[in-house]
């Protein structure tokens, strides 16, 4: 069988459109004063799927994305294959009708210790939760980083999908950390 015929058999999270992300996440006590360029993000995690509908707002500009995140190894929450599709507003509004759980946050960029992080300040039931995240290059998964706070990279509870689906008791535990 030639390669062109086989390519249609790809699994989710594979192929040339799936980008592998390697991340490290840190729990922060507050948003650093030096964090800049805020953007408001609303993530809608489609119930029963690995799909996320995202609305990003910066001033009067809005970007809509439809995303699938697949973990190649379920035991390693720091690595995911992500595929994004950019949408227009009518497409977003159509997909917004699907049953979903919502997570809202403000994301800022923070340069610290020679590295660039994004800092997410969560809203609603997660007010007070602040996470710093850095995407690591493929060739440096164990990049030494400055002391930031508690590292929660390997704690699945600090992934967006988990947070969005957390019940009241789980939310209380996460906020208390």
Q: Kindly state whether residue 42 falls inside one of the protein's structural domains.
A: yes
Question: What digits encode the pLDDT tens for the residues 32-46?
Answer: 999 999 999 999 999
* pLDDT the model gives residue 21: 75
Domain-embedded: residue 66: yes
Residue 25 covered by a domain = yes
Which pLDDT belongs to residue 132?
A: 95
> Considering the domain boundaries, does residue 74 fall inside one?
yes
pLDDT the model gives residue 70? 81
Q: Is residue 4 assigned to a domain?
A: no
- Whether residue 132 is contained in a domain is answered as yes
Does any domain span residue 101?
yes
> Where in the sequence is the domain holding 102, given as residue range(s)?
12-176
Q: Does 5 reside within a domain?
A: no
- Tell me the mean pLDDT per 10 residues along the chain, length 177: 56 63 88 96 95 96 93 71 92 98 97 90 95 78 71 90 93 88
What DSSP string runs through the chain? --HHHHGGGPPTT-STTPEEEEEEEEEESS--TT-EEEEEEEEEEETTSSEEEEEEEETTEEEEEEEEEE-SSTT-TTEEEEEEEEE-HHHHHHHTTS-EEEEEEEEEEEEETTEEEEEEEE-GGGTT-EEEEEEEPTT-TT------SEE-TT-GGGSHHHHHH--HHHHHHHHH-
Q: What CATH number did the domain enclosing 70 receive?
A: 2.40.320.10
Q: State residue 143's pLDDT score.
A: 63
Total number of domains constituting the chain: 1
């Amino acid at each position: 069988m030639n390669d062109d015929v086989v390519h249609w058999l790809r699994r989710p999270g594979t192929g040339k459109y799936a980008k592998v992300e390697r991340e490290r996440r840190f729990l922060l006590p507050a948003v650093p004063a030096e964090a800049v360029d805020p953007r408001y993000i609303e993530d809608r995690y489609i119930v029963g799927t690995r799909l996320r509908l995202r609305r990003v707002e910066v001033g009067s500009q809005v970007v809509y994305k439809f995303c699938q995140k697949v973990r190649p190894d379920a035991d390693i929450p720091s690595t995911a294959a992500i595929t994004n599709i950019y949408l227009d507003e009518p497409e977003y509004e159509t997909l917004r009708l699907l049953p979903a759980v919502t997570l809202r946050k403000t994301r800022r960029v923070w340069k610290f210790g020679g590295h660039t992080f994004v800092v997410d300040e969560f809203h609603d039931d997660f007010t007070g939760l602040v996470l710093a995240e850095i995407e690591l290059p493929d060739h440096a998964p164990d990049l030494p980083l400055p002391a930031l706070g508690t590292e929660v990279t390997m704690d699945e509870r600090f992934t967006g999908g988990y947070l969005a689906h957390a019940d009241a008791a789980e939310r209380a535990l996460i906020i208390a950390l």
